[in-house]
């Protein structure tokens, strides 16, 4: 079994989680952050496992692994699935400091 595979355990279907990150750190309670990201490639999405021991810029473990056809869609679901036209980018304007 590979991370992201559906497996039947104790009479229920669950997503197989990795036991270690690519650097070899054990992933378990308190040592991993779990998430999900949508995918344009096949529409199902990918589970993500972020190792809390690795530096934040380290890539997470994906399940199922990202393929050639996969494009992860990041951001809130309301932004990802909205049919409305996107709002134009607005530059951030630093507020004036208060007079003291």
Residue 37 within a domain:
yes
83: in domain: no
Contact 27, 15 (CB under 8 A): no
68 within domain boundaries:
yes
Residues 39-65: what's their mean pLDDT? 88
Identify whether 26 is part of a domain.
Answer: yes
Where does the pLDDT of residue 11 fall: very low under 50, low under 70, confident under 90, or very high at 90 and above? very high
Q: How confident is the model at residue 59 (pLDDT cuts 50, 70, 90)?
A: confident
The answer to the question of residue 95 being in a domain is no
Examine residue 36 and state whether it is found in any structural domain, yes or no: yes
List phi, psi (to 5°) of 77: -60, -35
pLDDT mean over 62-84: 72
Query: Residues 6 or more apart from 30 whose CB is under 8 A from it?
Result: 52
Domain that holds residue 40: 6-74
Residue whose pair of structure tokens reads 């996107």 in the numeric block: 86
With respect to residue 1, please indicate whether it lies within any of the assigned structural domains: no
Q: Give me the number of domains the chain comprises.
A: 1
């Amino acid at each position: 079994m590979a991370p992201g595979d559906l497996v039947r355990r104790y009479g229920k279907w669950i997503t197989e989680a990795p036991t270690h990150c690519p650097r070899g750190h054990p992933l378990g309670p308190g040592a991993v952050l779990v998430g999900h990201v949508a995918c344009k490639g096949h529409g199902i999405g990918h589970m993500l496992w972020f190792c809390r021991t690795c530096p934040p810029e380290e890539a997470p473990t994906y399940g199922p692994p990202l393929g050639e056809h996969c494009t992860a869609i990041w951001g809130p679901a309301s932004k990802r699935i909205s049919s409305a036209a996107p709002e134009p980018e607005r530059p951030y304007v630093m507020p004036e400091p208060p007079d003291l």
